[in-house]
């Protein structure tokens, strides 16, 4: 199996390839060369939207150079504000400058983008100054092909960990899931960050044909240290899907820092790529659909699930 990883250096990103022991046949090499590649990115957003955009462009360009078919950026890729007031002031509509520029970038590079956690102004912005936390998929022609608005809002108080966030104070919860969307790397089901803690969401996307689940995130250091990897691997194992989780890392401003460890997990729960907990960067992973199909055939978990009402029979 051919694996790729990204190593951060002072000169940028160097992509390293590793190959397991033994010689691969020409047929194996040719077959692997046609596997689609996903780039899972790790970003350090600040309140400066221009600086953030430039950093994300560099990552997308590096991903394209590395052979990626689709690039995954994390929650808050556009910015992370230092206050509720600033967060609201910097927000935009889907037709605003930020998404237009990412559409142009996708078109220019002919690459698909997962933009997870965009600060989208609410439908009644003039009267109700609240936003959606929105995940968009943009295709290689620059068109928005899927929109999901975060349904589960992060309202958590952990005094002993110095964590206090109330997303619902300024964010409108989404009212529905979005169907998985067919992309060059497979059928992708959309979530955002805190959605990761709700297996009902991942199973609902699986039932609609998802092969890849994605959770662009900005996990706190406390919750990330405790739960990040185990939750991602659990979602992969129980759904037999690839799980791709772009992440924020490091200090964004004086009041907030993120855990990092942007992760890619295969349907058996194996971690294929981990960006670590300190540096901006990305990991390139091949999406092996033959492995997914083999796992689902040998252990047909979805077929073994009972009808939905069975699981609510105790109610």
The reply to whether 10 falls in a domain is: yes
pTM, rounded to two decimals:
0.89
- The number of beta carbons lying within 10 Å of the beta carbon of residue 279 is 16
More confident residue, 315 or 39: 39
Mean predicted confidence (pLDDT) in 21-47:
72
Q: Nearest to residue 45, comparing CAs of 8, 11, 74?
A: 74
The beta strands (E) that lie in 85-152 are given as 112-121, 131-138, 144-149
40 within some domain: yes
Judge whether 240 lies within some domain.
yes
Q: 205: closest CA among 220, 188, 222?
A: 188
198, pLDDT greater than 70: yes
As annotated, the active-site residues are 75, 150, 193
- Residue 33: inside a domain, yes or no? yes
Q: Tell me the per-residue pLDDT of 246-261, one tens digit each, with 9 for 90 and over.
A: 999 999 999 899 999 9
Answer with the residue of higher pLDDT: 209 or 160.
209
pLDDT bracket for residue 33 (50, 70, 90): low
Domain span at residue 214 reads 2-309
Evaluate whether residue 315 is within a structural domain. no
* Domain of residue 45, CATH code: 3.60.110.10
Q: How many Å apart are CA 261 and CA 228, to the nearest integer?
A: 8
- The residue-averaged pLDDT of 155-173 equals 82
pLDDT digits (tens, 9 = 90+) for 103-122: 999 999 999 999 999 999 99
Alpha helices in the chain (DSSP H): 26-33, 49-65, 84-89, 97-109, 199-207, 221-239, 289-298, 301-304, 308-311
| pLDDT at res. 200 | 95
Interacting residues of 50 by C-beta distance below 8 A, sequence separation 6+: none
Count of structural domains, the chain: 1
């Amino acid at each position: 199996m051919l694996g790729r990883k990204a190593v951060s250096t002072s000169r940028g990103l160097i992509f390293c390839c590793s190959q397991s022991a033994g010689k691969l046949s020409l047929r194996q090499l040719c077959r692997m060369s046609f596997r689609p590649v996903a780039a899972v990115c790790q970003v350090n957003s600040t309140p400066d939207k221009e600086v953030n955009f430039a950093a994300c462009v560099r990552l997308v360009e590096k991903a394209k150079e590395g052979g990626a078919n689709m690039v995954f950026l994390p929650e808050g890729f556009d910015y992370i504000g230092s206050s509720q007031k600033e967060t609201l002031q910097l927000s935009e509509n889907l037709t605003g400058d930020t998404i237009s520029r990412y559409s142009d970038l996708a078109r220019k590079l002919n690459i698909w983008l997962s933009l997870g956690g965009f600060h989208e102004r609410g439908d009644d912005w003039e009267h109700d100054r609240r936003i959606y936390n929105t995940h968009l998929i943009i295709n290689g022609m620059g068109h928005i092909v899927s929109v999901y608005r975060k349904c589960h809002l992060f309202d958590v108080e952990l005094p002993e960990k110095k964590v206090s966030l109330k997303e619902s104070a300024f964010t409108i919860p989404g009212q529905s899931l979005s169907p998985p969307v067919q992309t060059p790397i497979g059928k992708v089901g959309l979530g955002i960050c805190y959605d990761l803690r709700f297996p009902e969401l991942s199973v609902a996307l699986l039932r609609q044909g998802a092969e890849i689940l994605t959770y662009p995130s900005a996990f706190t250091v406390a919750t990330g240290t405790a739960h990040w990897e185990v939750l991602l691997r659990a979602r992969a194992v129980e759904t037999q899907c690839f799980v791709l989780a772009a992440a924020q890392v490091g200090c964004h401003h004086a009041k907030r820092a993120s855990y990092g460890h942007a992760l890619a997990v295969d349907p058996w729960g194996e971690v294929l790529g981990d960006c670590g907990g300190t540096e901006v960067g990305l990991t390139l992973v091949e999406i092996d659909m033959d492995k997914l199909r083999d796992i689902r055939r040998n252990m047909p978990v979805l077929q073994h699930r009972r009808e939905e009402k069975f699981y609510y029979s105790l109610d």
